Amino acid sequence: VREYLQQVADNIKMDENAVIRTLLVYIEDYQGKNDVNKKYIGHYAVVYYQYIEKGIDSFFIIETDENGKVSELYVSRDSGFKVEPVNCLPEKEESDFTPLCLEHNVGDWLAILQMWNVSDDEYETDNIVWGGMEPDCLYEDRTSNSIIKLQDKNEIFLAFKEKLQELNRQNDNRIEDNKLIFDNGNSGSAITIEVSERQRINKIVVEAYSKYLC
């Protein structure tokens, strides 16, 4: 597989007119002729453009086994996939790409979340948080009149990032008792997380906080 992908990359480099772009997408529907591909509805994929004006050139989809290891790499040019972009990252030089660590203990994850949206590497942290969330991650926001519960990873990522931005605008924050606390003096909100056996985020809870509550 590596040799094949390297051959594809080498051929592209020889084309001076090629403008390469990749992005993460969510497969919303399949309207092609290969019914087998319907099983990928609801999956995420990396799509690759060789010429932007011609649209998507290839879809890269993976399946994993019960241990979270890649069991299948599926590359398709089937235009029947209907997708919604998830993230469009800024242009980077090759030297900017470094491996991202997606496994952390609770304390380290809280430190990452504490700096999210306020550091210079917001896009990189986006990828760390996104990649570090388990596919079946749970999210609960208990700070509104009706509790918000989400299980879709894409919805969780967007809702949680928006919530953090809101809390950062209104409050100071600190880490205390394995919680990321946002308060304005007497009360505020607290974020707690749980991690899986491989130390990725599998539950996020946002709830009201008061220093007078035990």
Return the pLDDT at 39.
92
159 or 91, greater pLDDT: 159
The DSSP result for 129-150, as a single string, is HHHHEEEEEEEEE-SSSS-EEE
Looking at the predicted structure, is the pLDDT value of residue 70 above 80? yes
- What pTM, to 2 d.p., does this model score? 0.57
Beta bridge partners of 75: 60
Rg, the chain, Cα only: 20
